[in-house]
Structure 1
Amino acid sequence: MRYLDEDSVRSIARGAAVLGSGGGGDPYVAMLQAIYAIQKNGPVALVSVDELTDVNRVVSLAGIGASTIGSELIPAASQDVDCFQEAVNQIGENPQAIMAVETGGGNSLIPIACAAKLHLPVVDADSMGRAFPETTMTTFNVFNYRPTPMVLADGFKNVTTIKPTNHSNGEKLARKIAVAMGGRALIAMNMYKGKQIKKAAVRGTISTAERIGNLLSSQSWLQNPLDELVNILSAKELFVGKVQNVRRDTQNAVTQGDATLIGLEGYAGKTFNLKFQNESLIGLKDHLPVITTPDIITCLNLDDNLPYTVNDLHYGNRIRVIGIPAPKIWRRTRGIELVGPKINGYSFEYQPFERLVGEI
């Protein structure tokens, strides 16, 4: 066990933006809220999965809804606690820890803010290992664990609980509630015990985000971020270009669209198309896929090498596109069924991006 302070939160915010495939919500607002919660209540204990007992209860927290709306609809000060407390009511016991649903943007920080207010530890893990568009896309679903109650809360003290019969129904119902709550809400879910967490969770994601965040201000990162990402995450450069066009639309509390880049440096004369649904899911170079979900697509500002979310992409941005291998659980057959290109509406077959890059 160790403790997360204000500097830890800043690093996690930066690093989670690298790992989140462009999604996970606005990291800046969530970072400010987590820092304020720590200033007021003290540092937050970070515990490893192995420190949980098999019977310790853990509740996961995240934002749900369109990422563009989340940048404007700022969570209320008590919204996370309102959501958590109703989860406690539903399970009928006091949880021993809080965990992130996903790694990415603000959703890595929401649990930290809530944990500070409630003086609970945060688990160094999550159920995705990156950010994904739907609540069905968790490692708990990979292991066919039955869904737990899902609690949604808005910033006006409205709290709703659903008890879905399966993960797909949970996503459909939660998404409609998020729309009714203004397009963005907080959700408590994955209320599993330590035994299930140990088997299914993606471990060490908070620590990895913090480590990457610490590197973002280092001289070695500023000079050559790819070297650092290769060492830590086996990353590869996919493209360098300038954003020529961005198309965004919000449907059913999901920000959907694509961005087209024209090549710079060694990619002059080539194009890259990035397709996203809250998160970047597909990358096409000259109309051919070079990376698909579940692998992680990270866009770095070419001038300072800081990460962009999909909401940050605008005409004229100069970007280095990086590919990062997804956690191994997602590259297996069951994982691809849940989070691969086809379940997200694309016709491509999943192949590890290292193989696709080699074929271009």
Structure 2
Amino acid sequence: MKIELKHLEDLALGSVFLATGGGGDPYVPRLIAEQAIKQFGPIEVIDPSELNDDAYVVAIGSVGAPTVSLELLPSVEDAANTLAAFEKHVGKTVDAVASFEIGGGNSLIPLVAAAGRGLPVIDGDGMGRALPEAQMMSYAIAGVKPTPALAYDYAGNIATFSTNSTEVYERHIRSLAMAAGGMITTAEHPMSGRELKDSIIPGTLLFSIKLGQTLRENRGLATDMLAPLQALFKDSIYGECRLIYTGKVIDKATRIVGGYDIGEATIESFDSSDSPLSVSIKNEYLLARKGEKVVTSVPDLIVIVDYETSTPINAERLRYGQRVAVFAVGCPQFYRSEQALKVVSPRCFGFDFDYVALEDI
């Protein structure tokens, strides 16, 4: 399949839903992707199984605090320049481009990087959602080294990284993002086709388009959206989809700490018959609870949408007074493995409890 202009609206919409509040706002990246397709033509999407085992693949996307992306806008050239600089740095030609995460703006940036070179983009990503730290990618969990890696900032400055530790890489890349104004573009986790097949969360790019189409065609009250979403997720790599809360945002506060948007939102039910829902944020929506009762938590997906239209809302765009609905979706099975939970369980984010799967709550 090739991604054309007609697919971008649905891709942006569906990927924001899967981003669980993070991944960056897709508006400007979508405009840039439109320009890239107009200039270079449709972008080929290939299944991981179609890739040669000895192919050379790199993941490309933005790193930083999503709130900054609303002001420090990416340029048309950032992604392509990052890819070109990376190839020069490693002395190799990249055969295909992959996504960090199927999240908002980060689902579109790899398309822009690939377009000018005529490279294919892999149908899949490194998270199946959005998560805030590099060691939480499926690539890293499966043993892919984060470097050689390269970062490119808004002024065209370039920094390169070399370490075998993804945790060290995360600290360094986050520090650079802060020093560069809060947002950078990176090429990282280079891997062979074989390594990609063993580590990627497959099918998420094209699934995002289907999800966006479902949201667009059934646009309306969130309560009416539940059935179409359940039908779609039933035949996917994700678990069940639930509508867990409806109400009005009565408080939301985040601040940039260490390169992340960190804070909490509180939602009050429409009829005040239910306890308020608190949603903890670290770039993404990580935990939803009523009082001390956990309703759902990372790595399962927490998605906040506009109540009247079912349009998903990025965490940086969530505001006091918005009427919203909260969905929960079971994460891909990969993230329920013992190895993955070592880096994505609630305890990894400072919460004092173990992960319980959505269907068991």
TM-score relative to the length of structure 1: 0.95
Q: What is the CA–CA distance in structure 2 between the aligned matches of 1:273 and 1:240, rounded to whole Å?
A: 12
Matched, 1:308 2:313: yes
Query: Does the aligned pair in 1 maintain the 2:32–2:75 contact within 8 Å?
Result: no
1:20-56 alpha-carbon deviations (Å, 9 max, x no partner): 1111001111111111110111110011101100011
Matched, 1:55 2:54: yes
Corresponding residue SS for 2:354: coil
Corresponding residue SS for 1:118: coil
Q: What is the CA–CA distance in structure 2 between the aligned matches of 1:94 and 1:144, rounded to whole Å?
A: 22
Q: 2:355 aligns with which of 347, 350, 353?
A: 350
The offset of 1:90, in angstroms, is 3.0
Q: What is the CA–CA distance in structure 1 between the aligned matches of 2:220 and 2:100, rounded to whole Å?
A: 28
Computed over aligned residues only, the root mean square deviation of the Cα atoms, in angstroms, reads 1.4
1:191-239 alpha-carbon deviations (Å, 9 max, x no partner): 1011001111000000110001111221476572111221222201111
Q: Which amino acid aligns with 1:169?
A: V
Query: Does the aligned pair in 1 maintain the 2:219–2:309 contact within 8 Å?
Result: no
Corresponding residue SS for 2:277: strand
2:303 is aligned to: 298
User: Gaps spanning 5+ residues in structure 1: where?
Assistant: none
Q: What is the CA–CA distance in structure 2 between the aligned matches of 1:352 and 1:85, rounded to whole Å?
A: 42
Q: 1:288 aligns with which of 293, 300, 306?
A: 293
Q: 1:240 aligns with which of 246, 249, 256?
A: 246
Query: Does the aligned pair in 2 maintain the 1:60–1:100 contact within 8 Å?
Result: yes
Corresponding residue SS for 1:55: coil
1:301-353 alpha-carbon deviations (Å, 9 max, x no partner): 10111111101111111111000111111111111111111111211211112
1:194 is aligned to: 193
Q: Which amino acid aligns with 1:323?
A: A
Q: 1:258 aligns with which of 264, 268, 273?
A: 264
The offset of 1:144, in angstroms, is 2.3
Which segment drifts farther, 175-184 or 84-93? Answer: 84-93
2:237 is aligned to: none
Q: What is the CA–CA distance in structure 1 between the aligned matches of 2:255 and 2:28, rounded to whole Å?
A: 22
2:324 is aligned to: 319
1:270 is aligned to: 275
2:167 is aligned to: 168
2:339 is aligned to: 334
Q: What is the CA–CA distance in structure 2 between the aligned matches of 1:146 and 1:95, rounded to whole Å?
A: 16
Q: Which amino acid aligns with 2:189?
A: N
Q: What is the CA–CA distance in structure 2 between the aligned matches of 1:299 and 1:175, rounded to whole Å?
A: 26
Query: Does the aligned pair in 2 maintain the 1:150–1:170 contact within 8 Å?
Result: no
2:121 is aligned to: 122
1:76-110 alpha-carbon deviations (Å, 9 max, x no partner): 22211221112212332111111111011100000
Corresponding residue SS for 2:263: strand
1:229 is aligned to: 229
Corresponding residue SS for 1:21: coil
Q: What is the CA–CA distance in structure 2 between the aligned matches of 1:145 and 1:154, rounded to whole Å?
A: 24
Corresponding residue SS for 2:147: coil
1:138 is aligned to: 137
Q: Which amino acid aligns with 1:186?
A: T
Query: Does the aligned pair in 2 maintain the 1:245–1:261 contact within 8 Å?
Result: yes
Corresponding residue SS for 1:124: strand
1:58-79 alpha-carbon deviations (Å, 9 max, x no partner): 1111110000001110012221
Q: What is the CA–CA distance in structure 2 between the aligned matches of 1:11 and 1:282, rounded to whole Å?
A: 27
Q: Which amino acid aligns with 1:289?
A: V
TM-score relative to the length of structure 2: 0.95
The offset of 1:287, in angstroms, is 3.1
Q: What is the CA–CA distance in structure 1 between the aligned matches of 2:250 and 2:146, rounded to whole Å?
A: 42
Q: What is the CA–CA distance in structure 2 between the aligned matches of 1:269 and 1:280, rounded to whole Å?
A: 20
Q: What is the CA–CA distance in structure 1 between the aligned matches of 2:360 and 2:325, rounded to whole Å?
A: 20
Query: Does the aligned pair in 2 maintain the 1:272–1:287 contact within 8 Å?
Result: no
Count of aligned pairs between the two proteins: 354
Q: Which amino acid aligns with 2:341?
A: I
Distance 1:220 1:316, change over 3 A: closer
Corresponding residue SS for 1:161: strand
The offset of 1:117, in angstroms, is 1.8
Query: Does the aligned pair in 2 maintain the 1:126–1:203 contact within 8 Å?
Result: yes
The offset of 1:283, in angstroms, is 0.5
1:178 is aligned to: 177
